Amino acid sequence: MSLPLFALALASFGIGTTEFVIMGLLPEVAADLGVSIPTAGLLITGYAMGVVVGAPIVAAATNGLPRKATLVGLTGMFILGNFLCAIAPNYWFLMGARVVTAFCHGAYFGIGGVVAAGLVPQNQRARAMALMFAGLTVANILGVPAGTALGQWLGWRSTFWAVVAIGAIATTAVVLWVPKEIPVSRGNLRQEVRVLANTQVLLAMATSVAGSSALFAVFTYIAPLLREVTGVSPHGVTWILVLFGVGITFGNIIGGRLADWKVMPTLIGSFAVLALVFVALVFTSHSLVPMIVTIVIWGVLSFAIVPPLQIRVLDGARGAPNLASSLNQGAFNLGNAAGAWIGGAALSAGVPYDHLPWVGMAMALVALAICLVSRSIDRRNAARPQFAMSLN
């Protein structure tokens, strides 16, 4: 990993930590701020919707600025948001601080992905983006467990102070190591918006929503599934989630390498196998070792789709990638929120925990269907010039 990519990954590690660590600190936050745990849980939903709303706004507002300066500004916003979280005197102040932090999230990963792709040769773009996103996946292995332990030991505010420190280090790394001149298109706002009418860009974003929904329809409720169906202790759940984090880290890297080879075959194959893995979860959830193996494979496949989907958006938005790339991050987070809601609705309707993977399978098949439609359009478009030549 080159130093510029390491700097981008370091910032994504901090962003990933602050996004997910709140899940492990909900009891502490709720008790300190005098709210119920379900009310504290809305801090997760508020963050996700902040990413959805903030990604296009920030990307459009910074469209004409140099990419390095934009990244430094976004990491500065990240530091500010976490500082406000650390000093929050009440629940609503904390909610507002989480939204401020979320506003930098989608734009950072969108613009950072474009920058990462611009730092390497054409045939290594997906791998470079995967390395940047590796910070997000490693956060689930190291940052979230460590941040949870720190918050339980010294109070939940200490975790946000630690993330402020990570943000300061990441900002310094971006300033020192990311080149000032990066060969990426900035375009103009009208051109960026016009690209959103591209059918393939919209289909890629729809795939991102469906793929993320498939993950979070089940993953949101993985702890009660493991405890009530598999019979895992609360401490054991933590270690299984660490293994899931290992799986998504490897999946992210594997997806980057495969996407540099073939984008659509990677997506189609990943979603087809992912649907089968959800079926397997229904049956393996009753036995510990098979469940652990299935969860790791699930993690690999769930993040193997991320680099190819981001490359798919960049290819469709060629010449004006910044807004589309940022919006795709919003699409992933929209899928997070939608998946959690769909899974919760299924449970409320009486679906038992061990049958919840059927919901994930259905969403994976929706994503697969969208990919097949997109590939069909690709083939039809590729055949048109040949047909026109035959007429001549």
Q: Tokens 């309707």 map to which residue?
A: 349
pLDDT the model gives residue 16 = 87
Q: Same domain, yes or no, for 319 and 382?
A: yes
Q: Same domain, yes or no, for 194 and 131?
A: no
pLDDT the model gives residue 391 = 32
| Model pLDDT for residues 85-97, shown as the tens digit of each residue | 999 999 999 999 9
Q: Same domain, yes or no, for 213 and 264?
A: yes
Side-chain-side CA neighbours of residue 155 (13 Å): 8
- In angstroms, the Cα distances linking 145 to 151, 159, 300 are 10, 11, 19
Q: Is 93 exposed, middle or buried (0-12, 13-18, 19+ CB in 10 A)?
A: middle
Q: Residue 112 in contact with residue 71, Cβ under 8 Å?
A: yes
Q: Same domain, yes or no, for 175 and 206?
A: no
Q: Residue 330 in contact with residue 337, Cβ under 8 Å?
A: no
pLDDT the model gives residue 319 = 64
| Number of domains present in the structure of the chain | 2
Q: Same domain, yes or no, for 219 and 165?
A: no
Cβ partners under 8 Å of residue 165, min gap 6? none
Q: Residue 140 in contact with residue 13, Cβ under 8 Å?
A: no
| Model pLDDT for residues 38-59, shown as the tens digit of each residue | 788 788 878 888 888 888 888 8
Q: Same domain, yes or no, for 172 and 266?
A: no
Dihedral angle sign, alpha carbons of residues 171, 174, 180, 184: negative
pLDDT the model gives residue 158 = 95
Q: Same domain, yes or no, for 160 and 197?
A: no
Side-chain-side CA neighbours of residue 347 (13 Å): 18
- In angstroms, the Cα distances linking 16 to 12, 47, 176, 236 are 6, 12, 22, 22
Out of 184, 200, 235, a domain closes at 184
Q: Same domain, yes or no, for 176 and 287?
A: no
pLDDT the model gives residue 187 = 56
Q: Same domain, yes or no, for 25 and 44?
A: yes
d(CA 335, CA 64): 29
DSSP one-letter code for 79: H
Taking the CA atoms of the chain, what radius of gyration do you get in angstroms? 21
| Model pLDDT for residues 341-376, shown as the tens digit of each residue | 888 888 888 889 899 999 999 999 999 999 999 999
pLDDT the model gives residue 320 = 65
| Model pLDDT for residues 107-165, shown as the tens digit of each residue | 898 888 888 888 888 788 888 888 888 888 888 788 878 888 888 889 999 999 999 99
Q: What is the mean pLDDT of residues 68-81?
A: 93
DSSP of 121-159, one letter per residue? Answer: -GGGHHHHHHHHHHHHHHIIIIIHHHHHHHHHHH-HHHH
Q: Same domain, yes or no, for 192 and 153?
A: no
pLDDT the model gives residue 387 = 40
Region of residue 133 (left: phi > 0; alpha: psi -120 to 50; beta: else): alpha
pLDDT at 293 over 90: yes
d(CA 346, CA 334): 18
Q: Same domain, yes or no, for 321 and 213?
A: yes
pLDDT the model gives residue 388 = 43
Length of the chain: 392
Out of 125, 158, 184, a domain closes at 184
pTM: 0.80
Give the CA dihedral 283, 286, 287, 291, nearest 10 degrees: 60
Q: What is the mean pLDDT of residues 216-236?
A: 84
pLDDT at 386 over 60: no
CATH code of residue 385: 1.20.1250.20
Out of 135, 158, 184, a domain closes at 184
Q: Same domain, yes or no, for 101 and 250?
A: no
d(CA 213, CA 219): 10
Domain range for 81 is 1-184
- In angstroms, the Cα distances linking 78 to 16, 83, 163, 285, 364 are 11, 9, 9, 38, 32
